[in-house]
Chain A
Amino acid sequence: MNLSFKHIDPFLTTDQNKASRWLSYIGLGIGVLLLLCSIQMYINIDALLKNKNAKKDGYDYISITKKVTNENMAQDHSFSDADISELKKLSLIDDATGLVANKFLVKATGGGAVPFTADMFLEAIDENFIDTLPPTFNWKEGQTLIPVIISSDYLELYNTVFAPSRDLPQVSEKTLSTIIVQLEFIGNSGTQTFRGNIVAVSDRINSVLVPKNFLEWANQQFGNKVKSDPSRIFLKTKDANNPELLSFLQQKDYHINKDKTKFGRVKQVLQMIVTGLAGFGILVVLLAMVLFSFYLQLMIAKSKENLQLLLTIGYSPDWLSKTVAKKWIPVYIIVIIMAVVVTVVLQWSFQHFVMKDREGLSPFVNWMVFATALLLLILSIAINFRLVKKLLYKL
């Protein structure tokens, strides 16, 4: 049978209630667009915030210090061994380790290359707490070249604030390792200069780290302290936002630096928002399809007599339902393709205008968006077809 819809079109009442039909097309378009953009945005967030997520192997790392108040300002604010073992005993805390800090004056200079001088602080921590530990991070007595790990925040601060204000060159992670910083250690017994070489950048520890054995030796040499209690403790825990943990720390008057986990939290929240938007998009799509199914039911109800007569004079119900359903396939294809095109344009504009062509973010739409669009298309056609068939067979 080489008949098509145009042969039976005059016999059906299709232009009733045009408004609801167009409303459902628009609804479908908006819903699909929302869904596709949400998926793409989720992927964008993932890409943009990738390096900043300190949560590795499912653990949060936070640092705590003892609160300095007006009352206790004069006291020693370091953590004793007893303090540390108390923390380790907590079930919520998987591990705790102290940061050793320098107990003497340290000056850093850029040497010939970068003309600046600053008072420095140095810290050291147990190796298993460091997230980016290169094999070169060790020191032997007598060695004057010291490996240093700095926080990625400091690098960003330097590049975005410090360097431009002093007319200094910006530095990328790769060129860091070529810089040698002069470290002047000034103590009671004298001064010694070491060369610091930045070997890694840490996302987790917001500090300037040197090998622990080196700092302990230096503290003894220049600071005349046999043993130094840490004033900062790093905690390894499954969930830094656990209210039990937070209340314990508050009780002990420990101040929490949740800088890193906050960032992870930000990513979580953003992705939750986007997921919510996607859910809303799906809802809109569903509503549009329900509205369209009402239109179909109305159309078939209004054309009931003619459809029944067509069946009586020998038209195949299968052919009728396929032909009636096929009438709307072009519309779905157009609506969904338009939504995809808009998503592509939006993504490119976002990457170019908003993110200023930032590296790491693709200007192109992810394949998952196309896959979702295709899935939606297939689903909407299939559902439509089944609905028409069901309605026609009931006649």
Chain B
Amino acid sequence: MQISLQQVAPTFIEQEKIASSQVWNKSIVFQPAEKIQIIAPSGSGKTSLIHFLYGMRKDYSGDIAYDEKNIRGFDAEDLATYRQANISIVFQDLRLFTEQTVLQNLNIKRQLNPFHSENKIAAMARRLGIENKLNKLCKTCSYGEQQRIAIIRSLQQPFDFLLLDEPFSHLDDNNRKIGLELIEEECSLRKASIILADLRPVEHFKADKTLNL
């Protein structure tokens, strides 16, 4: 399973930025079990790229193919299947259910297509230091805690690709290190690829490929 980008470029970004990019308007293939780092200064379309790859937006030219199928042609049901089994994500704006508990947030994703049993949630939460928050409402957690919740949520399903959009912005160095370890373990379990997009290179992340957006 690979993702290929064929001359993909957002319709709303200036030509100079596209020309100087290593991603936009190029032919790129993301292979299985690859670790890709995308370095993207603000305004370069980092979140847009993540949203394109997740099938959330279509305001780009060119084609994105998953397993040689153009995702632009996916209907609502195809997208649902894609997101249940092939691709997972940590949003920059997290997108958690703020009025529900942490555990409810994690289970609502896990139930859809469980990769782990429910016990594993507690173990992961313990590892990332948010075990005592499981029964608290999401909105009562700090931003850093919510980021860790978002990370755990993304690891509850099977996937071939994990998209991460500034996942550690509010974590200290230690939590970042632990978070990265957890992510890398989970990905090698699945033989999945990591696509990590951030403003600058992420410490402790040993990328196979680095691209400047």
Contact = CB atoms under 8 A, between A and B. Distances in A.
Contacts of A330: none
A310 B108 contact: yes
A318 B79 CA distance: 12
Contacts of A312: 56, 83, 95
A39 B76 CA distance: 45
Nearest to B113: A314
B109 A318 contact: no
Top 5 A-B residue pairs of the complex, sorted by shortest distance between their CB atoms: A314-B83, A316-B80, A314-B84, A317-B76, A313-B109
Interface of B is mostly: helix
Interface in B85-106: 95, 97, 100, 104
Contact of B108 (A8, A318, A393): A8
Contacts of B157: 314
Given A10-B100, A11-B100, A11-B108, A315 B95 contact: no
B77 interface: yes
A317 B104 contact: no
Interface string A27-44: 000000000000000000
B80 A314 contact: yes
Contacts of B109: 313-314
B117 interface: no
26 contacts: A1-B112, A3-B111, A3-B112, A7-B108, A7-B111, A8-B108, A11-B97, A11-B108, A311-B76, A312-B56, A312-B95, A313-B83, A313-B95, A313-B108, A314-B80, A314-B83, A314-B84, A314-B109, A314-B157, A315-B80, A316-B76, A316-B77, A316-B80, A316-B81, A319-B80, A393-B76
A316 B104 CA distance: 19
Interface residues of A, number: 19
A309 B95 contact: yes
B50 to A, nearest CB: 12
Contacts of A316: 76-77, 80-81
Size class of the contact patch on chain B? 10 to 19
A7 B106 CA distance: 12
A318 B76 CA distance: 9
A11 to B, nearest CB: 6
A314 B77 CA distance: 9
B159 to A, nearest CB: 10
Interface centre among A11, A312, A313, A316, by most chain B C-beta atoms within 10 angstroms, is A313
Interface of B: 56, 76-77, 80-84, 95, 97, 100, 104, 108-109, 111-113, 153, 157
A221 interface: no
Interface in A303-328: 306, 309-319
A43 B131 CA distance: 69
Nearest to B96: A309
A306 B80 contact: no
A278 B82 CA distance: 51
B95 A10 contact: no
Contact of B112 (A315, A318, A393): A315
Interface string A290-312: 00000000000000001001111
A314 B85 CA distance: 9
A322 to B, nearest CB: 12
A393 B77 CA distance: 11
A317 to B, nearest CB: 5
B97 A306 contact: yes
B108 A317 contact: no
Contacts of B97: 11, 306, 309
Contacts of B153: 313
B21 to A, nearest CB: 26
A305 B157 CA distance: 22
Nearest to B95: A309
Nearest to A1: B112
Contacts of A317: 76-77, 80
Contacts of A11: 97, 100, 108
A316 B56 CA distance: 14
Interface centre among A10, A310, A312, A393, by most chain B C-beta atoms within 10 angstroms, is A312
A347 to B, nearest CB: 48
Contacts of A7: 108, 111
A316 to B, nearest CB: 4
Interface string A1-20: 10100011011000000000
B84 A10 contact: no
A141 B104 CA distance: 104
Contacts of B104: 10
Nearest to B80: A316
A310 B81 CA distance: 13
Contacts of B83: 312-314
A314 B112 contact: yes
A311 B104 CA distance: 16
A235 B108 CA distance: 82
Contacts of B77: 316-318
Contacts of A1: 112-113
